[in-house]
Amino acid sequence: MIGRHNFQLLLNRHHGTPGVVVLPDNGFRRAKEEITSWPGYAPTPMVPLPDAAEAARVASVHWKDESGRFGLGSFKALGGAYAVLRVLAVELARRGDAASATSADLADGKYKEATRGITVTCATDGNHGRSVAWGAQRFGCRCVIFVHPGVSKGRRDAVAAYGAEVREAPGTYDDSVRAAKREAEKQGWFVVSDTSYPGYTEPPRDVMQGYRLMAEEAAEALPAPPTHVFVPGGVGGLAAAVSAQMRARYGKDAPRLVVAEPDRAACLMASAEAGQLTAVDGPLDTVMAGLACGEPSLLAWQELERAAFGFVSIPDEAAVACMRALHRRQPRIVAGESAVAGLAALLLAGRDGFGRAALGLGEDSRVLLFGTEGATDPELYARLVAG
């Protein structure tokens, strides 16, 4: 499917050691009950990829296609909007405006006098901000989203389309996270971030509980339990959510979780190598915009440091080659730049003797991939697949 490219593989020497519970199951049950009640909810499709299975010499490959999630183009629709809802419900209760406001109350404008005075904010490289803006619009509060200069116009416009104000902050994604935090402290706004840091954990925990729904849908739809799951890694929230859900469902038979990152922004691999949460420097200049993160999420790392089996870093060229291969196959799969990291990691590691052995990939392996976004920046997508 794709040619040869360099990659790096690191096995997690702490895999399987006991640790803290980051995502309690009751939080997931609440997220699931809420999100599945939203208008337009439907499980996203599960697509078998026999061509990828043949190329990687494994028994099967399945692709969970998130391109249609709630019309937002990525799995992130599950996280940010749900966390906005939770922030608003808690704040309305704190102010004495509503003891337990439901999403239907908020969407119907029952508390609009109170909610329109509340502002939520976050940093984004596109998809999380779109989800937060969508949630803010639906539930009736104000929204300001911070982007770094590398976020494309297409992605900014997609956030603004949900009524959010988009502000540019200099530097990288991690700098825009700090800018959102600073402004929130100054203005009394609520940060609804997908990444957590010491002293700030609750909205990101809700975000991750929302993501778990995607992993549960996948497990429900698969013909047999997977032996391996390859997940794209940005700050690690998605990978940690998938990990928690796989462990909750399969216990000691949980599949091996492999985190796939861009080689220019491999902060989770760097953390595994150092044995502690570690940031990577540099411009984080990768085409995989959603994965261009230099600092892992604290909560995500607490799950991954013992539950991830391995980490693979891949070059941009391999991601673009995968996008093209999926675009040209019949029937076509539209996969954005960040969606294909897991497929690229599987194809590169699976065709390499050392990679196969290290990850325990064999002719009987059943691999699950999360195609986390569609063409979330349509112009860029068209340019990359045309090549």
Ligand X SMILES: Cc1ncc(COP(=O)(O)O)c(C=O)c1O
Q: DSSP 3-state assignment of 40?
A: coil
CB atoms within 10 A of CB 112: 13
What angle do helix axes 202-221 and 25-35 make, rounded to 10 degrees?
70
At its nearest, how many Å lie between ligand X and the CB of residue 261? 9
92 and 86 in contact (C-beta within 8 Å)?
no
Of 135 and 237, which has the nearer Cβ to ligand X?
237
Cα–chain-centroid distance for residue 320? 19
Q: Which is nearer to ligand X, 193 or 227 (CB)?
A: 193
* 152-179 as b/e: b if 16+ CB within 10 A: beebbebbeebebebbebeebbbbbbbb
Which pair of structure tokens corresponds to residue 150? 């590398």
Each residue 64-83 as x (binds ligand X by CB under 6 A) or -, in order, gives: ----------x-x-------
Question: Rule CB under 6 A: is residue 344 a binding residue for ligand X?
Answer: no
Least distance (Å) between residue 186 CB and ligand X: 26
Candidates 25, 64, 65, 76; catalytic one: 76
Whether 97 is a known active-site residue: answer: no
Report the site for ligand X in 164-203 (rule: CB under 6 A): 194
Distances (CA, A) of 137 to 85, 99, 116: 11, 22, 10
Q: Which is nearer to ligand X, 7 or 370 (CB)?
A: 370
Stretch that binds ligand X, among 33-41, 89-97, 235-243, 355-363 (CB under 6 A): 235-243
User: Please, which residue, 232 or 255, has the CB nearer to ligand X?
Assistant: 232
Residue recorded with tokens 């060229």: 317
Among residues 80, 135, 210, 290, which is the contact residue for ligand X, using CB under 6 A? Answer: 290
Phi, psi of 293 (to 5 degrees): -125, 135
Beta pairing partners, 124 = 147
Ordered DSSP codes for 240-294: HHHHHHHHHHHGGGPPEEEEEEETTS-HHHHHHHHTS-----S----S-GGG--S
- Position 316 contacts ligand X (CB under 6 A): no
Name which of residues 351 to 380 contact ligand X (CB under 6 A). 372-373
Note whether 245 binds ligand X by CB under 6 A. no
DSSP assignment of 54-102: HHHTSSEEEEEEGGGGGGTSBGGGGTHHHHHHHHHHHHHHHHTS-SS--
User: CA 239, CA 22: separation in Å to the nearest integer?
Assistant: 13
Indicate whether 237 belongs to the interface with ligand X (CB under 6 A).
Answer: yes
User: Does the active-site annotation cover 125?
Assistant: yes
The catalytic residue among 64, 65, 125, 206 is 125
Q: Is 236 in the site for ligand X (CB under 6 A)?
A: yes
Q: Which is nearer to ligand X, 74 or 115 (CB)?
A: 74
Q: DSSP character for 149?
A: T
Contact residue for ligand X among 140, 233, 255, 374 (CB under 6 A): 233
Closest approach, Cβ 98 to ligand X, in A, equals 30
339 contacts ligand X (rule: CB under 6 A)? yes
Q: Which of 2, 89, 291, 345 is close enough to bind ligand X by CB under 6 A?
A: 291
326 binds ligand X (CB under 6 A): no
Show the tokens assigned to 346. 């599987």
Query: Does residue number 128 form part of the binding site for ligand X (CB under 6 A)?
Result: yes
Q: Least distance in Å: CB of 129 to ligand X?
A: 9
CB-CB contact of 211 with 204 (8 Å): no
Region of 11-19, 230-238, 273-281, 326-334 interacting with ligand X (CB under 6 A): 230-238
Which CB, 1 or 208, lies closer to ligand X?
208
23 binds ligand X (CB under 6 A): no
Looking at residue 329, its amino acid is: R
Q: What is the DSSP letter of 315?
A: -
Give the interface segment with ligand X, choosing from 110-118, 149-157, 246-254, 289-297 (CB under 6 A).
289-297
Residues with a known catalytic role? 76, 125
The binding site for ligand X (CB under 6 A) comprises 74, 76, 125, 127-128, 194, 232-239, 290-291, 293, 336, 338-339, 372-373
